[in-house]
Structure 1
Amino acid sequence: MQKINKFRAHPWHGVTIGPKAPDIVQVYIELVPEDGIKYELDKSSGILKVDRPQRFSSYAPAPYGMIPQTYCGQETAKLMEKEAKENRQISPDQKIIGDDDPLDILVLTEKIVPHGDIMMTAKPIGGLALLDRGEADDKIISVLEDDSVYSEIDDISELPWGILQRIQHYFLSYKKAPDTEDPVCRILTTYGREHARQVIEKSKLDYQNKFQSTIE
């Protein structure tokens, strides 16, 4: 007889990133474009919670969430810092730290996803090196596996410019109030599929370093 699990797996720790990572990853969706409230995974309980009402007109351009068993720590931050210094986007003495969260991911699809708190399988095609108050906060851009429109896209360079511009605008504005001058977030660069793979691998390593001894 099949054993029945009475308890739901924790979306961050109890679900795997997937056997084909970093080419194909599992994604836990927290937020969809129609949400007027920003939801976020409660990291202790694994329950989706209300983070805050959306005060301004900046809504997610696609289903948005996190990649299980990833963590933006020292290795992920070092990768962003190295690239930023090589491209002279930050000063030689500036340090970047991780934001201590799972790796964020946006999933492009032509389908309407009515709500979050679901799992998806997606193909990373690139990402944004987002610096949020000195913290590495990479945003992986992906496409829903087997999507009838987006699944043929393999790299962010193949996206229509208007879609990429919409994504960039969202992440630059979703934390910024209308009466503030200084930007909260800064996109250092937009990168393609191969660099996205590196970011995912570094976040997997950060997760292992942070949690391997504590997760059963």
Structure 2
Amino acid sequence: MIPNFKAHPWHGISAGEDSPNVVNVFVEIVPSDTIKYEIDKTTGYLKIDRPQKFSNIIPALYGFVPKTYCDTEVMKLAVESGATDVTTGDHDPLDICVLSSHNITGGVLLEAVPIGGFKMIDGGEADDKIVAVLVNDHVFGQFRDISEIPKAEVNRLMHYFLTYKNLPDEPAKCRIQEIYGADHAKKVIEASKKDYSDKFGG
């Protein structure tokens, strides 16, 4: 009898058969969470990273694309975009936000269509945030580029990432170099897949 093992969400699941056009996403945090959960890289289980200190609540599903890693190739794209203060990727899987009109729990796998993202620089590290829509979502599913999303929705996401690490009287710890569309988002995904292959093989 063959034992039934659970695949590691980061290393045991592909980025998606049709990536970068449609990607698999492992959801770590949902908009109702007041705790920041993060995948434990060793075990693959969700663990508590920290309670959210302030009223900053993630306005979309948030997680990562499996078998991605942000290092040299992702950093090069940030440099090409004009970032002069970046020296590396953040050495984590590629972050992704998924817009959906449905209530979804954390710790699940879903398919999403990348429509753009934010070139975020955090302490000299390229920390891209891909923005995507849930496949077949009745409200967001038809969008194919971040330019089609209401500006208020984009601003909400930007505000979260620019403020969620800061005390009210602290200077900003990170900045957004640029907002990019679907074409560049796919380049970032491919770069992070290359970084994963270079780091972990396969």
Calculate the TM-score normalised by the size of structure 1: 0.91
Identity of aligned residues (%): 49
**Could you say what secondary structure the match of 1:107 adopts?**
strand
SS of 1:84's partner is coil
Report how many aligned residue pairs link the two structures: 202
Q: Does 1:205 align with 2:197?
A: no
> What whole-Å deviation, never above 9, does each CA across 1:64-88 have from its counterpart, x for those lacking one?
0000000001111111112125xxx
CA pair 83-111 structure 1, distance change in 2 beyond 3 A: same
In 2: Cα distance, 1:55 partner to 1:130 partner: 21
Task: Say yes or no: does 1:69 pair with 2:67.
Answer: yes
Larger radius of gyration: 1
Match of 1:170 among 134, 138, 160: 160
What are the residue-to-residue correspondences of 1:139-150 with 2, within 5 Å?
139-150=129-140
Q: Is the 8 A contact 1:127 1:191 kept in 2?
A: yes
Q: What is the distance in 2 between the residues matched to 1:84 and 1:206? A: 20
CA contact (8 A) 1:29 1:119 kept: yes
Indicate yes or no: 2:182 matched with 1:193: yes
Residue of 121, 126, 136 corresponding to 1:131:
121
Q: One-letter code of the match for 1:107?
A: V
Q: Distance in 2 between matches of 1:70 and 1:172?
A: 23
The 3 A distance-change label for structure 1 pair 5 and 26 is: farther
SS of the residue corresponding to residue 210 of structure 1 reads helix
Query: In 1, Cα distance between the equivalents of 2:86 and 2:127?
Result: 14
Instruction: Indicate whether 1:151 and 2:149 are aligned.
Output: no
4+ residue segments displaced more than 4 Å: none
In structure 1, what is the equivalent of residue 5 of structure 2? 7
Q: Which runs of 5+ in 2 are unaligned?
A: none
2:22 is aligned, of 24, 30, 33, to 24
Q: Distance in 2 between matches of 1:7 and 1:21?
A: 25
- Name the Cα RMSD after superposition: 1.2
Letter in 2 for 1:189: E
Q: Is the 8 A contact 2:165 2:173 kept in 1?
A: yes
